[in-house]
Amino acid sequence: MRRSLPLLTVLLFGYAFLYGPILSLIIYSFNESRLVTVWGGWSTKWYGELLQNEQILAAAWLSIKIAFISASLAVVLGVMASMALIKFKRFKGRTSLRLMLAAPLVMPEVIIGLSLLLLFVSMEEVFGWPEGRGQTTIILAHMTFATAYVTVVVTSRLAHFDFSLEEAAMDLGAKPIKVFFTITLPLIAPALLAGWLLAFTLSLDDLVVASFVSGPGATTLPMVVYSSVRLGVSPEINALATIIVLLVSVAVLIAGIVMFRQEKQRQRELN
């Protein structure tokens, strides 16, 4: 009991340090006063104001659309890169490919954003595409660094994949494309889902890279929140953050329930 008390104290302090600010943000989203630091009573009017804020709603929809497209493209490229690295052990350019995939993981976002901006400007001068900076350039930028994260997740799954299953299917007459979609893809589906969710989250949360490659007509939600916070925290931002926390909590709860049911089903099958 004496040993567990200090551990429990440290655990509670850690949880309070991590989740205390989030809890205070949720509480102040129901604040009647416009001043965030002054409590004026309970009210839900800022949620109504948020739903009428066209700038935030448009930025949220744009961020979700960009995150969905960039995450989907990153999964396709990540699977291709992972298959090349795992199935083909030796080929020219393998080391360069690994270095290019590892670079976005360790490179500062400022460097990534600046380099992509210079690339897009040069491409526009030479090829005339992409024309200006906007949604397309943000998707390409997010897809670039998200592919590296997806590749890491999928590669870790393929490293323990039994490729004899593919060989057996091809020996029975199945074509490689059919083997991939009927055998390989279902078995690595959890890794694909994890990589997609990670890429979606990174794109939805990105501020630095998007600030470099975006234009006047494409403002993502993190950019709107950052510009609003610079002028002072608005209760509408607290309401927006509360909704995001609620959605993430529901998603985590659903994932936990599904995993718990799958684990119980596996135990029943083993018994």
For the chain, percent of residues with pLDDT exceeding 70 = 99
Q: Are 104 and 145 in contact (CB under 8 A)?
A: yes
Q: C-alpha 58: how far from its chain's center?
A: 19
Q: Where are the domains of the chain?
A: 57-232, 236-270
pTM above 0.75, yes or no: yes
67-71, 128-132, 228-232, 234-238, range with the lowest pLDDT: 228-232
Structure tokens at 34: 């416009």
70 CB neighbour count, 10 Å cutoff: 26
**pLDDT at position 1, please?**
52
Interval 53-72 mean pLDDT: 93
Interhelix angle 235-270/54-87, rounded to 10 degrees, is 40
Amino acid 3: pLDDT: 62
pLDDT at res. 33: 85
State the average pLDDT over residues 63-90.
Answer: 91
* CATH T-level fold of 57-232: MetI-like fold (1.10.3720)
Separation between Cα atoms, residue 212 and residue 163, nearest integer Å: 42
User: Could you report the per-residue pLDDT of 130-145, keeping only the tens digit for each?
Assistant: 888 889 999 999 999 9
Q: How much is the mean pLDDT over the chain?
A: 88
Residue where the block lists tokens 């494309």: 177
Taken as a whole, the chain contains a residue count of 271
Residue 2 confidence (pLDDT): 60
Is the pLDDT score of 102 beyond 60? yes
